[in-house]
A and B are shown apart, each in its own frame.
Chain A
Amino acid sequence: MSTQNEITYAQAVRDAMREEMQRDDSIVLMGEDIGVYRGAFGVTQEMYREFPGRVLDTPISEAGFVGCAIGAAISGMRPVVEIMFSDFMSVCWDMILNQAPKMRFMSGGKLSVPLVIRTAAGCGTGAAAQHSQSLEAMLCHIPGLKVVVPSTPYDAKGLLKSAIRDNNPVVFLEQKLLYRTKGMVPSHDYMVPLGKAEVRRVGTDVTIVTYGRMTGISLQAASKLAEEGISAEVIDLRTLLPLDRNAVTESVKKTKRLLIVHEAVKTGGFGGEIAASVAESEAFYYLDAPIRRLGAEDVPVPFSPVLEKGVLPDAEKICAVIREEVG
């Protein structure tokens, strides 16, 4: 009999790493302040004690240690690196763009890079424009990478286990505002497959496609709309690359309306890809209203809490768009 425990999203991430490291000696963690500091967001905690020599504090050299992890992965290890804030991917962009995802292809399949890059993404902490971005769209433009954005503790654990066992470089975008949220997680070993979306709420009038922290916000909006007699289906993509296009088109064929919600800025955001894939599928002929997107305003993430909150999608904005769509 499997039991369930209520744990936080951060603990789910930690438990996934702990269980995988107990199982496989080739897994090491590298990152800034993941040892005695216990991780900038407290994810790694006491792991440095439990796994001596396998939880490595690095110099502040993102390119250096991500490159090192890629080299180790090519050489048969399965490193999990932590980039403290996803914004810092900029200082090791060559590794994420030109190195990790290209090695397998350029070598005709002879090299592989089983690497996980965990990083804290998203705004809401008052850390302003260089510590708050949602950059997934840039990552999804790179064939050879996989891009995962978990929205619940259950998924965080199951998806991270899949990412660690995957033989490709996976960027795992943890949602920093979700680290302390709780959810039920089974104690037995389980995996959540990469590339599979999840229907979080079944509905008939409109499909909301979302991921990460906006999943919870979209569910709040769906509850509110239900009171008004509007039935919204909420799809959590969970993995953006590869994208579960089928889950989206099947839902749209049923509900005939589509709203895409993400925290990233709207222009050039991943919502455009979802909209386009529906527009070029047979689901297009089922649409009763234009496809809509809600993203953050096209500005750098502002500091003042009033502004930071103001530029983001929220349940009220979601409801307003859907009322227009359905009305």
Chain B
Amino acid sequence: MDKQTALLLLEKMMLSRKFEESVQYYFSLGMIHGTTHLGIGEEATAAGTCLALHPGDDMFATHRGHSAAICKGVDVRRMMAEIFGRETGVCRGRGGSMHIADRDVGALGSNGIVGPSVALACGAAFAHKYRGEEAVSAAFFGDGATNEGIFHESMNLASVWGLPVLFVCTNNLYGMSTHISRAMKNTEIADRAKPYLMKSFTVDGNDAEAVFDTVTEARDYAVSSCEPVLIVENTYRISGHSKSDGNQYRTKEEIQRWKQRDPVRLHREKLLARGIATEEEISLVDRQTTEEIEKAVRFAIESPYPKVEDIYEDVYAE
């Protein structure tokens, strides 16, 4: 892992973590309304995956999609403004937390429905292939989505049509509250590639470097062979499912165990242990990301709300 990539992974993970902690804080103050699905603990999946993508690649995210959007390059100020429901938001306050999208950076939408992102990613990959572009599209989805029909329809379509799609499963062990062992007989999600004769990878989703290397290899394969791949990134959601989660379905001990494997801390320790970066360099990233989030919050709070009289503007294109 080169120094630049290592520090970039750290920066994107810290930015994601602080973004979500900030969202959580302002939500608790009643300054953000609606709901939020935080992915605290899963940042290495977003950073490792999105940084391995190339600029022309597309990415589709889930309802738990803040980190993926940040790591794909969506401006955090405009994302924060979106979650505060402001006109300056990346979706003009129409989408909110679950629907961050910015086509300028290849973030083609986060989805509030479990599953369809995989089908949409097939279409983006189809477009790339049709136009002869060397690009892939990546779809994030959770372990729960692999029990949806659309997952299987899309895996089948991508394999039979030879579409360069990265099916990225962030396996956090729970579909909301239901443990993976109660939702599928075979919990080895990578096995779900086999019926489609699709190549698969399984990786420690809390190890940003490992995710980055795996997705880099998977992307190379998808582009060179024009085939889809399934990547299973095993991780854990330390935060609750959403604001309403009472954590009745898991133990404090389990959460504590996973906190020991906090991906941001693991990566930071690795950089120091291997001498890739110094304490000073890491502190600098820490300070800069904190400032960036503070600026984002200020930008959001100072931004105007959208006007009801403009509400019909984006329902239909001209």
Contacts and interface: CB of A to CB of B under 8 A. Distances in A.
Nearest to A110: B103
Interface stretch (B28-36, B149-157, B236-244): B149-157
Interface stretch (A57-65, A184-192, A278-286, A291-299): A57-65
A74 B91 contact: no
Contact of B123 (A59, A73, A168): A73
B317 to A, nearest CB: 4
A315 interface: no
B162 interface: no
B122 A98 contact: no
A109 B312 CA distance: 11
A28 B113 contact: no
Interface in B75-133: 89-95, 99, 101-104, 108-109, 111-113, 115-116, 118-128, 130
Contacts of B92: 108-109
A67 B119 contact: yes
Q: Max chain B CB contacts within 10 Å: which of A58, A74, A107, A166?
A: A107
A67 B145 CA distance: 15
A103 interface: yes
Interface string B179-217: 000000000000000000000000000000000000000
A99 B115 CA distance: 11
Interface residues of B, number: 48
Interface string A74-113: 1111010000000000000011001100011111111110
Given A71-B137, A74-B120, A108-B89, A94 B150 contact: yes
Contacts of B101: 103, 106-107, 110-111
Given A64-B157, A71-B137, A99-B116, A111 B127 contact: no
A167 interface: yes
B96 to A, nearest CB: 8
B308 interface: no
B254 interface: no
B109 A63 contact: no
Q: Max chain A CB contacts within 10 Å: which of B101, B123, B150?
A: B123
A63 B149 contact: yes
B187 to A, nearest CB: 24
A160 interface: no
Contacts of A149: none
A68 B127 CA distance: 10
Given A71-B122, A110-B103, A63 B94 contact: no
Contact of B121 (A63, A71, A95): A71
Contacts of A108: 89-95, 314
B108 A75 contact: yes
B273 interface: no
Contact of B150 (A56, A64, A106, A110): A64
Given A71-B124, A103-B109, A111-B103, A63 B119 contact: yes
A72 interface: yes
Nearest to B110: A106
Contact of B113 (A68, A98, A166): A98
A112 B153 CA distance: 24
Interface in A140-155: 143-144, 146
Given A67-B119, A72-B123, A94 B317 contact: no
Nearest to A113: B317
A109 B157 contact: no
Q: Max chain B CB contacts within 10 Å: which of A69, A99, A110?
A: A110
A107 B112 CA distance: 13
Interface in B146-166: 149-150, 153-154, 156-157, 160-161
A28 B130 CA distance: 10
B318 interface: yes
B225 to A, nearest CB: 19
Interface in B3-39: none
A70 interface: yes
B313 interface: yes
A222 B210 CA distance: 74
Contact of B91 (A28, A107, A166): A107
8 contacts: A64-B156, A71-B126, A73-B123, A94-B115, A106-B109, A108-B95, A109-B317, A111-B101
Given A95-B119, A114-B317, 4 more contacts: A72-B130, A99-B116, A106-B91, A168-B317
Closest 6 CB pairs of A and B: A71-B123, A67-B119, A64-B153, A108-B92, A71-B120, A75-B127
